[in-house]
Structure 1
């Protein structure tokens, strides 16, 4: 039985959690489900295939656009109102893709759809923390994390199956209709968590919206060396995986001549490895500190990226690249949550604000880095992709060094 800090009944708890989980799943599925169809999208809209990774990176950058604003606004106006607005925006942008007739409009809608990610991270996550006691909130956050992992694992395969009967336009329309049902569930069952008296006797009061104060708080965070190291590390660590998601349709279907089903199957080893890394993290967490976990995770992380770089010299093949990515992904799964936790608690400021800026920086690094790898030809040659992905991931090592005990950044943070 979940223990809540707000006076709501079991039925409301169940539907509220289900609706939040469904909204997060839809925001990820809107990307992963459509990846097998992206070459068909560019062909039907008479656009160059280079728009395949660009559309994916625009989706990521859409998640950055509003995060800086959503945190303060939800503190002022309440989580419920903001999440309903975000859900409606995401659903409308998905449904509108059914009618597009140009790649420019399609890319604009991808940017708007990506904004739904910002609402999930900046509005729904704090709402869960405020509704439930600490232990239950952590468990539910872990559940949402698993949803985020299952989407890229199963999304491409599910997309291949659905595309046997539906067009990519109908897939977007279906996502829009499902989002409408989620919006209705949130409207009927989501409690407001700001400005209400909780069972522990405390009241989460709305915060006055001062742009000058908000800008000052953001500047203070940007001046926090430990925070910047952690946030930039998050983006660089995930960049090889993000680049693979965006460029895999070009590398596997267009370049290697694989079928969409084979493309979907080649995603399984990589994202299964991330889940394995998460399971190892869960096992080691009770007996290891966060810096110790990061140090252990760097072994598979670095070995996988070095093997990926070696693929360029020895002749890159689908098998060698995917195997190297899978080894790297184990290390990523072991370390990602630990680094995020270090970023979140690197400052005493409100966690909503810290989380918003962490998400903005890390997603911006992933989106811009993925775009750069695509521009220099990462989608046209498997060996070039392997070299760029390996180099970008290894760039996080100097930043991670600043998070480990005994380093100058660590010593400065303790003063």
Structure 2
């Protein structure tokens, strides 16, 4: 386990998160830039457009499959070595996808590119949480989220530009260059902490996972994270099909539709950063998720009134993303700190559970969308948020009550 100490958030200490967020941006835009180009990619490979969401689901599956190894590995070898190695591997996969001859090999490399998600979630986020004090860590996570949101904001526009003017291959070349730059930043600015290497055999990693997975609070809080995130993930995965193919919008109109939705997420993170010092930790979740629920009701209203569907879709998704921005960073912190196991292993468990949930739900809802069209998308968002008002909400209220009794603000 690593010997760590927390630091205050200053200009000097912010250089490491900024280098990490450049890599996070590269990984996210690797998905957000590709999704609007998937209609062109499936056409190039001579397959149905229904393959388009699979690019995202295989990307997420790749992240889920490797996270369980990366977290414990970083506990033993140090976050720095594993993070730098992961960034280098991601650069290689971005270049390798240029050589794929068919949709099957394309999805196989997308699976490998997904490892970058686990490098961020199981290694990078754990390093952030260990490096900064509680509220500073949440601020850093929210700030990173805002910077990384340039990916889904710029991705659709750049993807639309690629479709109309250049080959989609150039997108991966640009991503590889950005990732390479982030490697240099991390190498220079990531703290060089001393690492106490665990003497236990690797078989004991399974004991750590068993300890984590037996923790009821950890499971409930971690599995509530996909409930909060999936509506926006579904938007990113299915909006090209819904807006362009189903509703007939142009690629540029599709790109512009992302601005209010993802702008809502940025606004939610900004509100979180502004009020995090003024309210008990967790209160923003209790405000944000009801807003998300209202957004899902507006989605359902749009399905019932087809003439206003696009307006209801944009308004509803903007409310959903705003609520997610207010909620996610705090909920992630609570999930990560709910177990006393080594934080790399805990972060890996969070990442595995989240990404497998993403993969399964996106594939299931993709198939439901083929059968039931817009109703499947809207009802899925409604049901996901509705589930949060059960055990996750009760567990959060219990946790906030315990923190109050301990005098933790």
Q: Normalising by the residue count of structure 2, what TM-score does the alignment of the two structures yield?
A: 0.87
For 1:102-113, list aligned pairs within 5 A: 102-113=102-113
Tell whether the 8 Å contact from 2:292 to 2:322 is kept in structure 1 after alignment: yes
Tell whether the 8 Å contact from 2:142 to 2:329 is kept in structure 1 after alignment: no
Tell whether the 8 Å contact from 2:301 to 2:312 is kept in structure 1 after alignment: no
Distance 1:124 1:163 in 2: 33
Distance 1:393 1:254 in 2: 27
The secondary structure found in structure 2 opposite 1:302 is helix
Q: 2:254 aligns with which of 241, 245, 263?
A: 263
Distance 1:192 1:209 in 2: 25
1:208 is displaced (CA, Å) by 3.2
Unpaired runs of 5+ residues, structure 1, are 197-203
Tell whether the 8 Å contact from 2:17 to 2:144 is kept in structure 1 after alignment: no
- Map of 2:369 onto structure 1: 377
Unpaired runs of 5+ residues, structure 2, are none
CA RMSD of aligned residues (A): 3.0
Alignment of 1:193 with 2:192, yes or no, is yes
Distance 1:21 1:384, change over 3 A: closer
- Map of 1:200 onto structure 2: none
The secondary structure found in structure 1 opposite 2:48 is coil
Q: 2:293 aligns with which of 294, 298, 302?
A: 302
Distance 1:368 1:283 in 2: 35
Distance 1:130 1:340 in 2: 14
1:406 is displaced (CA, Å) by 4.8
Q: 1:275 aligns with which of 260, 263, 266?
A: 266
- Map of 1:323 onto structure 2: 315
Distance 1:342 1:376, change over 3 A: same
Tell whether the 8 Å contact from 2:126 to 2:347 is kept in structure 1 after alignment: no
Distance 1:13 1:289 in 2: 25
Distance 1:151 1:251 in 2: 20
The secondary structure found in structure 2 opposite 1:405 is helix
Residues 7-43 of structure 1: CA deviation (Å, up to 9, x unaligned): xxx9997875553232111111101112221100000
Residues 303-357 of structure 1: CA deviation (Å, up to 9, x unaligned): 1112223333333722111211112222221111221122122122222222221
Distance 2:129 2:62 in 1: 24
1:246 is displaced (CA, Å) by 0.3
Tell whether the 8 Å contact from 2:229 to 2:324 is kept in structure 1 after alignment: yes
- Map of 1:201 onto structure 2: none
Tell whether the 8 Å contact from 1:233 to 1:362 is kept in structure 2 after alignment: no
Distance 2:266 2:376 in 1: 27
Distance 1:155 1:279 in 2: 21
1:225 is displaced (CA, Å) by 1.3
Tell whether the 8 Å contact from 2:19 to 2:186 is kept in structure 1 after alignment: yes
Distance 1:170 1:222, change over 3 A: same
Q: 1:311 aligns with which of 299, 302, 318?
A: 302
Distance 1:122 1:208 in 2: 21
Distance 1:265 1:227 in 2: 38
| Worse-superposed segment, 325-334 or 40-49 | 325-334
Distance 1:11 1:324 in 2: 37
- Map of 1:199 onto structure 2: none
1:134 is displaced (CA, Å) by 7.1
1:69 is displaced (CA, Å) by 1.0
Distance 2:273 2:130 in 1: 24
1:281 is displaced (CA, Å) by 2.1
- Map of 1:236 onto structure 2: 227
Tell whether the 8 Å contact from 1:96 to 1:173 is kept in structure 2 after alignment: no
Distance 2:335 2:132 in 1: 23
Q: Normalising by the residue count of structure 1, what TM-score does the alignment of the two structures yield?
A: 0.86
1:102 is displaced (CA, Å) by 0.4
Distance 1:376 1:396, change over 3 A: same
Distance 1:48 1:24 in 2: 30
Tell whether the 8 Å contact from 2:146 to 2:269 is kept in structure 1 after alignment: no
Distance 1:341 1:165, change over 3 A: same
- Map of 2:327 onto structure 1: 335
| Worse-superposed segment, 59-68 or 240-249 | 59-68
1:232 is displaced (CA, Å) by 0.8
For 1:12-411, list aligned pairs within 5 A: 18-128=18-128, 140-187=140-187, 189=188, 193-194=192-193, 196=194, 204-208=195-199, 210-315=201-306, 317-377=309-369, 381-406=373-398
Distance 1:214 1:50 in 2: 39
Count of residue pairs the alignment pairs up:
397
1:207 is displaced (CA, Å) by 2.3
Residues 43-70 of structure 1: CA deviation (Å, up to 9, x unaligned): 0011111111011111122221111111
Tell whether the 8 Å contact from 1:37 to 1:168 is kept in structure 2 after alignment: yes
Distance 1:282 1:177, change over 3 A: closer
